[in-house]
Structure 1
Amino acid sequence: MKYLKICIHILIVIFLTVLTQVGGLIWITVFGFFKYRKSAWSKRKRLLSFSVIYLLCVAFIVPNLAPLNHRKALPAFDEYLAPHNLGYVLLCRNYVHDDLHYNLVEASKGFEANYGIPVTYLDAGFPFIDGFPLLPHLSHNDGRKIDLAFIYQDASVKTTNDNPSLLGYGVYEEPLEGEVNQPQKCKDAGYWQYDYAKYLGFNTDKELEIDLDYTRYLIENLILKTSASKVFIEPHLAQRINLSSNYPNTIRFHGCHAVRHDDHIHLQISK
């Protein structure tokens, strides 16, 4: 029984570390304290203590330590730049390098001022340690990459910052007839993982369609204001939005080894 408890704790630490980077360390600290003090507190009270301490660390300690690694947290509630849901903030997946932070914030302010639409971000990066992977992403490991949501129209053709997916991923803008069907090419080549995000995004069944014009304005604004070195977007969608010809060195295909990018925008800056 003792070894089973140890294995469970190890699995929890691994899970929290993979998911949040800092959660595993906080778990060890809190439960190690109770173990050291030989506290008689119930499991419920210990979990409650962990939850409270975790939230306090995420809100106050981590944001103040992250600048030591040249990272800053993106805003959680600002009217011009905000996460698709607060999970990205609570899981410490909203950190970017100083350079990207400043330029992204300024670009978002300008976009919201001109078009009245806030910029919505998804996964960015963790607060500490260059090279630490932000799973399931392959490259979000240095604070210089971020995923952003498309801009959509609702059923009344009104522009909105809502999203058809609970997590912001997995609801694809499928290729139309005559467009390059890169997703099918990748799957035919054996890259089974290419569209697995459709099982993870949790479709909300909202009647939303991508707003091509405003999404193009957003991407162009971001490229210019952040000096983006790469923007990953599915080839058929880049063609439909009319981006590839205007920014041939920036708009890129990410490769079949990654996942589909017709549900979000991947932006990165160079070192």
Structure 2
Amino acid sequence: MTDATTDVTTDAAVPLVELDGVSKHYGNVRALEGVSLEVHPGEITCVLGDNGAGKSTLIKIVAGLHQHDAGTFRIEGDEVRLGSPRDALNRGIATVYQDLAVVSLMPVWRNFFLGSEPTKGAGPFKRLDVRTMRETTHAALLRMGIDLRDVDQPIGTLSGGERQCVAIARAVHFGAKVLVLDEPTAALGVKQSGVVLKYVAAARDAGLGVVLITHNPHHAYLVGDRFVLLKRGAMAGSHAKADIALEELTRQMAGGSELEELSHELRRAPAPADAPGD
């Protein structure tokens, strides 16, 4: 009985995704150097950094678009080198990019099943099972708390936040274990950003491991459990939420010492005193 309990505990501790000292170079250009992170079920790991920090390269490695040059990439404890995004999907990793790659004029249900359409009939009578797709899309969105009145409306008529939420619900429905989100709130206002973060948290609560790529420490701190900071392709910090306050995370994200130095340089010099007798 003791052995069985130990096995369960060990399995639960194995990250869904683990990068250990991962590096990627393009010729002489260092895109990533020695980056490590863990993604656990029911947790959100936030990757923060400015433009050029290496976030896009990290996404491409986890999503199977590019292979790492050094370090170790593990999925559920198995060392892997993904050859394509299909390999990543087959291993339960779904990536939602900022541009979403939706077909704007197609209805919501068609985008929801794009590339995975169920059919009925056989031979010359084989056709798309439209009724099943409509009903399944509506039910899957409802399970995530998204109540669209009409799944027949073109997805391009939805707000940016709503489109992000549909993409998240799609990943959950098709059995993703790990959800990678590329700057989901970057082009959204405050209210829509809040809606998206609500559904990011819903994916976490559904047991997925979530990787949230963002340059906004306030959004990250609202939902994140772990924070990895990147700067010019290298690790600038790695923290659990319990170990860092929002103010310190923001300071590190903004490059606190560099900002202090810049503030000193930009400080207005005192006006010269009037000469005697003026």
Larger radius of gyration: 2
TM-score > 0.5 by shorter chain: no
More helix by proportion, 1 or 2?
1
User: Relative contact order, CA 8 A, sep 6+: which one is greater?
Assistant: 2
Tell me the TM-score normalised to structure 2 length: 0.25
Tell me the TM-score normalised to structure 1 length: 0.25
